[in-house]
Amino acid sequence: MERWPWPSGGAWLLVAARALLQLLRSDLRLGRPLLAALALLAMLDWLCQRLLPPLAALAVLAVAGWITLSRLARPTRLPVATRAVLITGCDTGFGKETAKQLDAMGFTVLATVLDLDGPGARELRACCSLRLKLLQMDLTKPADISRVLEFTKAHTSSTGLWGLVNNAGHNDVVADVELSPVATFRSCMEINFFGALELTKGLLPLLRRSRGRIVTVGSPAGDMPYPCLAAYGTSKAAMVLLMDTFSCELLPWGIKVSVIQPGCFKTESVLNVGRWELSKRLLLANLPRELLQAYGEDYIEHFHGQFLNSLSLALPDLSPVVDAITDALLAAQPRRRYYPGRGMGLMYFIHYYLPEGLRRRFLQTFFISPCLPRALRPGQPGPTSTQEAAQDPNPNPGPSPTAAR
């Protein structure tokens, strides 16, 4: 028996009316994304017609069409006008490219760098307008942070401070937690968490006054147990939780908080193979002898090589991250999370919805393939048996009297 066609037609009329309205307002573009969305809706309609009662089919198709068109709509942007933004970590990578783009859009950009005479600072001076101000800041030094806070307060008194982009980040070791020095965890936390926390708190009076934005560059390593990135990932996880807390607490003040979780991109720090080689040599030179014997030098070499191989697949175009930061600063309703980068949607789907074993296997396949420590390989004495043999003065005793009875 044929299904009554009117519910489906009613849903399509609703979708068509909204699409036409968005096209007239220039909120929607004719292109592949729209055509793909319509094709998926047609497939959904076909399924609903066969599996659901008429009214349920109408509701499902109408809601799916409304959500799809909402996702495809181009966000409403606020005018740049005389807005001022402070960006940290502009020596290289995302920070430098974001500073260049925001300056070109007309922002007053305060860009912090570690070295005022470094190549990144020279490039920004050469290609940006006189509105851009370069500030030297090391997030591990409270005096540097205080100086930047005073400068920002003095130079945004007329325009106000619209946004803070916490971009500066640090990672200097690729190793298991047991092999990573505790000092590495501390250095990551000092820069990626405590320094950013101190700067953000210091700028909150300015941001509250402007009802502005806080944008923080996080990392998927802060959400997922990436092999060999525990020190970096732990600091990023702490930072993201802090931003979520700020998002709730600052909502009454009108401040919007966003976190960017980018995939792997070819920034200067990623491409600096010499830095990673030096880090590996320092790790091997300072490992306790017992740990080096248990894991093996070849284990560390394997993970180092796999890490460098994963970096070779990094994306060269940084614009998705820069565009996400820009949207978080200017969208009337910015997202709380942005995931720029190829395959990020699939990665987070696997992380949130698949069993733990499959999640772990995916990360190992995608990032670093597993390798057994030396002490766990077949034919090698395990750590427990080795310790017991060392402690037992008589490894082959005869049967005890109790056992003989």
Q: Point out the residues that are catalytic.
A: 232
Contacts of 115 (CB under 8 A, 6+ apart): 91, 121, 136
N- to C-terminal Cα separation, the chain = 84
Query: Are 149 and 156 in contact, with CB atoms under 8 Å apart?
Result: no
Cβ neighbours, 10 Å, residue 186: 13
d(Cα 276, Cα 173) in Å, to the nearest integer?
8
d(Cα 154, Cα 137) in Å, to the nearest integer?
17
Rg (CA), the chain: 27
Given the structure tokens 């959400």, which residue do they identify? Answer: 223
Query: Which residues lie across from 259 on neighbouring strands?
Result: 216, 337
Given the structure tokens 């309205």, which residue do they identify? Answer: 21
DSSP state of 156: T
Secondary structure of residue 39 in the 3-state scheme: helix
